[in-house]
Chains A and B, each alone.
Chain A
Amino acid sequence: MRPQPVGEYELKAAYLYNFALLSEWPEGALPAPDAPLALCVLGRNPFGPSLAALEVKTVHGRRLEARQVPTAAAARRCHLLFIAAPELARASEIVAALGDAPVLTVADSGAAERTPAVITLGMHGSRVAFSVDLGAAKRARLRLSSRLLRLAAGVAGAEEAR
């Protein structure tokens, strides 16, 4: 394994961007082409300046906009919601509050345990890894690229999604 030359959250910020690239939102869920795609963080922002650095990039033809949201209700207008580690205890609550809103939820979990989010970020040894919950993705009406699934350390909810 190569040593990680970048910090953990710098890497995770890049991952968020990749997740957005390899996910498809339902028809009409994306903003107008000139409006930004909202990349939200619920809880304390662990990324530092790495998140704002993503704003120069584009996803599905739209630029990114990093936001900090205080509540799950406010997160319904987000396209991607990062649930920071300190908020994990409330994860079920947050996901339930989002309902069928097309929000790609990504939970930051230090240990590789499962969360109710669509994607769970964790560490695999010294490496950042992620697992995917297809049931949660289906509920949020999101489609994840098979290329993303192939890289996932675990895929759950396949039966439910079928």
Chain B
Amino acid sequence: MNGTARTSLRGRMLLLSLLSAGVALVLALAGLGAREYLASRGDLEERLAVLARIIAENGAPALAFADERAAADVLATLRSAPHVTEARLFGRDGEVFAQYRGAHAGSALGSVTARREVRLGSDRLGELVIVADLHELEARLAGYAVVALLTLVAALAASALIHAAMRGRVAHAEEALAELNRTLEEKVRSRTAELERAVSELEAFSYSVSHDLRAPARAMAGFAGILREDHGAALPPEALRALKRIEDSATHMGRLTDDLLEFSRTGRTPLTLAPVDMRALAASVAQELAGPEASPVRIGRVPPARGDAALLRQVWRNLIGNALKFSREARPPVIEIGGERRGAAVEYFVRDNGAGFDMKYAGKLFGVFERLHSPEEYEGTGVGLAIVQRIVQRHGGRVSAEGAPGQGATFRFTLPA
């Protein structure tokens, strides 16, 4: 939104709010004014009717005794009612018997008239007509109009003030929001850069740690082996057992550092993308791991993918290796491999009929060093599936697993076609 558009929008909003407030107020005031007019007029008519009754009563004897002066005197008492402009007393014959003229000359709002028969006893003597102007009503309405106008002006001024106050606060909030938007992207960029730096530092660190730990681990395993072979006969069985444990631990540590290095390398080496024959790759890995004869591995339809062949080989190796490892108790073990296109991606699976796992641990499967089984049951470092996830994610794919204890497991991963 640019400045002028915002200004004109605000102007229109102010106008609109003033207009709606003004219209509502004018309607309300007009309604009250009309009510005031009708009520006042009704009141005036009632008062005039009462006046006519009194004058007719007082004037009746004058008419009865044909006393014109007395009749005029009675009518003259109307002087105390300044709104009466005219009064006429008609005799029985319809002729004007007496009349009175007030000081006022009528008003723009017109006049009200009261008629009253003049009676004495059972005799109808004539008729009295009194006309009053609406000066009083005019003055009242004028007063009302002044009050209404002042109310209108005050209300609109108050409305404008409130609007201005609100507009100030809204403008302030708008500016703050725009400022926040401006800084937010910058913040995200700088935080991302910081995070990337931290991650790469961490990876470099873990790589160098793994690398540096490898040589001492090998040395320990090597020298423990030499000690056992050359001097094993001289050692008591207790010492031999301890020596065996040192050797095993050092060997395990060596594997751990190897795997960590591998894991680290998969995150650091740049991807070399090319079309990959996934079926040939899987078959080669299966033969390498299970041997050429009596292999439990059945390879179905496996579509090709686009990716880094060396890394994808690592994926097959880890998944097929896992399947072989966890299904070795099965009679007979069966491992199925396959895949199919799903839109722009290809989904592959490796299914075994081995130990399986509880689905509530499915989230932990792909974490580094996460193991669902003890090393005594199934050897391993807990890094293999983490490497699989990292490679697949670097290709822009996803990994998932399903299974049940004792009923085998199925691992799936997707790659771009």
Contacts and interface: CB of A to CB of B under 8 A. Distances in A.
Interface of A: 1-2, 11, 14-15, 17-18, 21-22, 57-59, 127-128, 130, 145, 147-148, 150-151
Contacts of A11: 66
B68 interface: yes
B120 A18 contact: yes
B121 interface: yes
Contacts of B70: 150-151
Given A147-B60, A151-B70, A57 B122 contact: yes
A130 B61 CA distance: 13
Given A127-B66, A151-B65, 8 more contacts: A14-B64, A21-B120, A22-B61, A22-B120, A57-B122, A57-B123, A151-B61, A151-B70
Interface string B113-155: 0000000111100000000000000000000000000000000
Nearest to A18: B64
B212 interface: no
Given A2-B68, A11-B66, A147 B121 contact: no
Contact of A147 (B58, B66, B123): B58
A127 B62 CA distance: 13
Give chain B's interface residue range (CB within 8 Å of chain A). Answer: 10 to 19
Interface of B: 57-58, 60-62, 64-68, 70, 120-123
A151 B62 contact: yes
A59 B67 CA distance: 21
Contacts of A150: 61, 70
Question: Which of A14, A21, A128, A145 has the largest number of chain B CB atoms within 10 A?
Answer: A21
A2 B71 CA distance: 14
A14 B65 CA distance: 8
Given A2-B68, A11-B66, A151-B67, A17 B121 contact: yes
Contacts of A151: 61-62, 65, 67, 70
B122 A148 contact: no
A79 to B, nearest CB: 14
A23 to B, nearest CB: 11
Contacts of A145: 61
Contact of B121 (A15, A57, A130): A57
B65 A21 contact: no
29 contacts: A1-B68, A2-B66, A2-B68, A14-B64, A17-B121, A17-B123, A18-B61, A18-B64, A18-B120, A21-B64, A21-B120, A21-B121, A22-B61, A22-B120, A57-B121, A57-B122, A57-B123, A58-B121, A58-B122, A59-B121, A127-B66, A128-B65, A128-B66, A130-B65, A147-B61, A150-B61, A150-B70, A151-B61, A151-B67
A30 to B, nearest CB: 14
Question: Which of A14, A15, A18, A57 has the largest number of chain B CB atoms within 10 A?
Answer: A18
A16 B60 CA distance: 15
Contacts of B122: 57-58
A29 B66 CA distance: 30
A30 B142 CA distance: 58
A18 B122 CA distance: 11
B116 to A, nearest CB: 16
Nearest to A4: B66
B396 to A, nearest CB: 117
A1 B66 CA distance: 10
A126 to B, nearest CB: 12
A1 to B, nearest CB: 8
Nearest to B61: A147
Contacts of B58: 147
Contacts of B60: 147
Nearest to A150: B70
B75 to A, nearest CB: 13
Contacts of A15: 65
Contacts of B64: 14, 18, 21
A50 to B, nearest CB: 15
Contacts of B120: 18, 21-22
